């Protein structure tokens, strides 16, 4: 059914825009048309329908229940004979949903396949407070709302001021989850008080749980206590999940906590599969429908769809349940045969465990394992360094003392290599490369000729420099020092250049010269430190005449 707005819209300035008004006399043809007339303006109607559709979808996706109903007929009642406040409550609730028409983009009201229900909270209230029985809805081919309203009117007719409004309708949210749960927990509905005497319920509500021995002790290896043939796992499970699954299979109660993505749905799927394998039935409940859907999808992917009967959201009506039961019964003859014993899996597991144990066993005369050695080698990869290549037969000869010695040798080699610099820059780099091709030999011969001539010129010039400086220039280090000294003379005053031969001479007291230069440097730094106090002329002034006056404490003019 569609919707029609019958109220007036208002423009931004407050003036009416829609002149549609409800008629005083309604034509009978409008009783049976496919439109619901609402006392709202067009704009408010679309906003209300959009909010209803969005909220109903959110509740169904999160909780797996439909709460959107079309209420048909209302009961007007009072809480007491003296009360003047009239209460109204719906009588018949039709499950519906709001669907947007793809052609008109307007919302339409569509009936769901769920059953009609009466107002259960109202039924409970009338029974407990007034002793009145609100009749159940016996939906059949001859049932009609008007007949039901007549039965309700007959049940409450003796109450003063109470009446039934059969033509009233309202779309809204109605939820009976808590009331249904309360009815399920009513002890009278359980045979022989089995609910009150149930050990788990008694422990939860009254007595608490006794401490029991853990199924697995701390440090237990699961492969030592569990055989692959005893594990019923339809999806992957790690060690912690396997402990939970086997604890449940052994009849123990437990609580599993963990953030999203830690494999709780996988564990639940394995627990359900294990329980079915053991001939048990499982009731899996969850507040969110997403949790139910995830577990159901996991079981369906591994071929266990036939063991599941979903009873939530759209799948909770009688027709869907009967169709699912029929489908499961029809597919029962195609059950797969039980697999053979997992002998190959056990052998492969034992081999892998043996290899792992060997890797983590301390080597003879060592304080480390093979796994430790491999970890160190792999660490070079993460640092962008090529791992060392050591022959396998050499590992046995490397004891702890030898390993420490090799590490020290490598450290010293690193220090020496750092001090030597880049190998290609060494003067003798490539001198042992004797496997040269003819082009390389030709290039080398030309370079050696040039180098020989250069060395001869260097020897001649160094001899001349040695004669002038009256000192020996025999090594490359001495040649370099003489070159630096001559370079410094280019900017030196004439007196310094004249003293150069004497300074470089073998008989010159170089220690005394170094001390004098050090004194001059100290004098220059001292003068620079007091430059803000003394004028330049004070550095060369004769201050001996001021000594006596300073000793007596008299004031003297500023220098």
Q: Please say if the pLDDT value at position 179 is more than 50.
A: yes
* Domain-located, residue 345: no
* Domain-located, residue 316: yes
Paired sense of beta strands 117-118 and 87-100, if any: antiparallel
Q: Please say if the pLDDT value at position 111 is more than 80.
A: yes
User: Could you give the angle at which helices 42-63 and 289-301 cross, rounded to 10 degrees?
Assistant: 50
Same domain, 20 and 72: yes
Q: Please say if the pLDDT value at position 91 is more than 90.
A: yes
pLDDT tens across 218-254, in order? 777 888 888 888 888 899 998 889 999 999 998 888 8
Same domain, 247 and 389: no
Same domain, 9 and 74: yes
Same domain, 471 and 514: no
* Domain-located, residue 426: no
* Domain-located, residue 291: yes
Same domain, 408 and 543: no
Q: Which residue has the higher pLDDT, 351 or 215?
A: 351
Number of domains in the chain: 5
Find the mean pLDDT for residues 447-454.
Answer: 91
Q: Please say if the pLDDT value at position 320 is more than 70.
A: yes
* Domain-located, residue 340: no
* Domain-located, residue 432: no
Same domain, 36 and 104: yes
* Domain-located, residue 180: no
Q: Please say if the pLDDT value at position 299 is more than 50.
A: yes
Question: Distances in Å between the alpha carbon of 463 and those of 69, 248, 454, 471, 473?
Answer: 115, 99, 14, 10, 7
In the block, residue with structure tokens 């003047």:
84
Q: Which of 78, 3, 5, 15 is nearest to 39 (CA)?
A: 5
Find the mean pLDDT for residues 308-314.
Answer: 80
Q: Distance (Å, rounded) from C-alpha 195 to C-alpha 192?
A: 8
Same domain, 472 and 548: no
Same domain, 77 and 155: yes
Q: Which of 490, 523, 550 is the last residue of a domain?
A: 490
Same domain, 160 and 232: no
Share of the chain above pLDDT 70, in %: 88
Q: Which of 129, 157, 175 is the last residue of a domain?
A: 175
CA atoms within 13 A on the CB side of 524: 6
Report pTM: 0.54
Find the mean pLDDT for residues 251-258.
Answer: 88
Q: Which of 290, 307, 330 is the last residue of a domain?
A: 330
3-state helix, strand, coil in the chain (%, to 5): 55, 10, 40
Same domain, 23 and 149: yes
Domain that holds residue 529: 509-559
Q: What is the pLDDT of residue 171?
A: 93
Q: Please say if the pLDDT value at position 459 is more than 90.
A: no
Q: Distance (Å, rounded) from C-alpha 501 to C-alpha 58?
A: 102
pLDDT band at 68 (very low <50, low <70, confident <90, very high): very high
Same domain, 402 and 533: no
Same domain, 50 and 157: yes
Rounded to the nearest integer, the mean pLDDT of the chain is 82
CB 431, CB 444: distance < 8 Å: no
Q: Please say if the pLDDT value at position 18 is more than 50.
A: no
């Amino acid at each position: 059914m569609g919707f029609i707005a019958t109220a007036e819209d208002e423009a931004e300035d407050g003036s009416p825009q829609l002149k549609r008004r409800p008629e005083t006399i309604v034509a009978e043809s409008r009783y049976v048309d496919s439109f619901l007339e609402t006392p709202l303006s067009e704009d408010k109607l679309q906003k209300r329908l959009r909010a209803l559709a969005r909220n109903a979808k959110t509740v169904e996706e999160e909780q797996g229940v439909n709460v959107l109903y079309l209420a048909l007929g209302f009961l007007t009642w009072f809480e007491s004979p003296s009360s003047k406040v009239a209460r109204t409550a719906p009588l018949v609730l039709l499950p519906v949903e709001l669907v947007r028409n793809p052609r008109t983009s307007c919302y339409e009201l569509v009936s769901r396949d769920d059953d009609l229900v009466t107002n259960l909270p109202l039924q409970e209230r009338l029974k407990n407070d007034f002793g009145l029985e609100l009749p159940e809805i016996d939906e059949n081919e001859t049932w009609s709302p008007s007949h039901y309203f007549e039965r309700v009117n007959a049940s409450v007719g003796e109450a003063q001021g109470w009446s039934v409004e059969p033509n009233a309708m309202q779309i809204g949210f109605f939820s009976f989850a808590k009331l249904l749960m309360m009815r399920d927990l009513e002890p009278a509905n359980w045979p022989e008080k089995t609910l009150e005497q149930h050990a788990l319920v008694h422990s939860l509500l009254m007595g608490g749980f006794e401490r029991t021995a853990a199924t697995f002790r701390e440090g237990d290896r699961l492969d030592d206590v569990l055989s692959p043939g005893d594990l019923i796992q339809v999806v992957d499970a790690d060690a912690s999940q396997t402990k939970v699954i086997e604890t449940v299979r052994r009849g123990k109660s437990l609580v599993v906590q963990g953030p999203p993505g830690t494999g709780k749905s996988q564990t639940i799927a394995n627990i359900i599969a294990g329980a079915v394998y053991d001939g048990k039935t499982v009731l899996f409940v969850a507040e969110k429908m997403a949790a139910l859907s995830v577990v159901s999808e996991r079981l369906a992917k591994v071929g266990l769809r036939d063991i599941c009967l979903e009873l939530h959201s759209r799948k909770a009506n009688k027709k869907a349940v009967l169709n699912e039961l029929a489908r499961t019964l029809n597919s029962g003859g195609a059950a797969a045969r039980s697999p053979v014993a997992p002998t190959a899996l056990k052998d492969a597991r034992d081999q892998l465990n043996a290899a792992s144990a060997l890797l983590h066993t301390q080597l003879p005369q060592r304080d480390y394992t093979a796994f430790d050695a491999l970890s160190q080698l792999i660490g070079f990869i993460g640092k962008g360094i090529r791992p060392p290549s050591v022959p396998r037969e050499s590992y046995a000869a490397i004891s702890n003392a030898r390993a420490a010695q090799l590490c020290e040798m490598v450290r010293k080699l690193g220090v020496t290599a750092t001090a030597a610099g880049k190998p290609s820059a060494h003067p003798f780099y490539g001198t042992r490369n004797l496997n040269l091709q003819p082009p390389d030999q030709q290039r080398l011969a030309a370079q050696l000729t040039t180098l020989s001539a250069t060395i001869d010129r260097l020897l001649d010039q160094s001899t001349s420099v040695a004669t002038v400086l009256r000192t020996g220039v025999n090594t490359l280090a001495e040649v370099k020092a003489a070159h630096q000294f001559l370079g410094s003379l280019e900017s030196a005053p004439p007196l310094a250049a004249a003293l150069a031969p004497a300074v470089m001479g073998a008989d010159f007291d170089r220690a005394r010269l170094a001390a004098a230069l050090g004194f001059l440097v100290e004098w220059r730094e001292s003068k620079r430190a007091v430059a803000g106090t003394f004028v330049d002329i004070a550095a060369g002034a004769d201050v001996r005449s001021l000594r006596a006056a300073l000793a007596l404490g008299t004031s003297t003019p500023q220098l």
